[in-house]
């Protein structure tokens, strides 16, 4: 699957991820008792986290997805956010939980929060797998956070570089030679 030249450092193991998801699932289940929950995954990165997290939550929910772009094939967000696919469901009067793979600069999440608030949900909260607060450019509230990570470019468990590495069950930093074009 991976060769040893691709992995620089493993930051979060598969076991740590599973434990954190159970913990988050319990808290979200507790907070959303008797609520009309809409679980909104931010495509594509959040899909794996969202699926595992949903199985750890024991309240009814509706799934929806929004696809946005702010990275392209780069290792840093461009700061320009585009909606590629909007929600299918109306969220007015519903309890919405945005499920993100990573909150980095906060620009993407800030944009999503503003868009969603204009649609008048009953409540709006955010759950992110990874939180990179050292890179924050705008202040955003993260209600549920899996792991705080250092300012490093990470892949695995839904996060990618140029479309690759999403299926790896742990989070790691890539060998910098890969994105510098020195290693194929």
Structure tokens at 174: 């890539």
Classify residue 95 as left (phi > 0), alpha (psi -120 to 50) or beta.
beta
95 is catalytic: no
Tracing tokens 């094939």 back to the chain, one arrives at 73
Start-to-end CA span in the chain (Å): 14
The Cβ-side half-sphere exposure at 6, using a 13 Å CA radius, reads 14
With beta carbons less than 8 A apart as the criterion, state whether 140 and 54 touch. Answer: no
Please provide residue 101's backbone torsions phi and psi, each rounded to the nearest 5 degrees.
-80, -45
Among 52, 104, 110, 148, which one carries the catalytic annotation? 104
Active site members:
104
């Amino acid at each position: 699957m991976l060769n040893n030249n691709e992995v620089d450092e493993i930051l979060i193991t598969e076991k740590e991820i599973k434990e954190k998801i159970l913990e988050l699932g319990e808290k979200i289940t507790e907070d959303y008792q008797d609520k009309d929950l809409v679980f909104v995954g931010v495509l594509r990165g959040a899909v794996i986290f969202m699926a595992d997290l949903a199985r750890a939550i024991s309240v009814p929910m509706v799934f929806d997805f929004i696809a946005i772009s702010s990275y392209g094939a780069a290792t840093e967000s461009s700061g320009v956010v585009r909606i590629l696919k909007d929600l299918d469901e109306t969220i007015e009067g519903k309890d919405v939980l945005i499920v993100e793979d990573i909150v980095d600069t906060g620009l993407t999440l800030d944009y999503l929060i503003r868009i969603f608030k204009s649609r008048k949900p009953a409540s709006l909260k955010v759950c992110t797998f990874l939180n990179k607060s050292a890179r924050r450019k705008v202040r955003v509230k993260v209600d549920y956070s899996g792991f705080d990570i250092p300012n490093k470019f990470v892949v695995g468990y839904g996060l990618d570089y140029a479309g690759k590495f999403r299926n790896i069950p742990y989070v790691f930093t890539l060998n910098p030679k890969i994105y510098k074009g020195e290693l194929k």
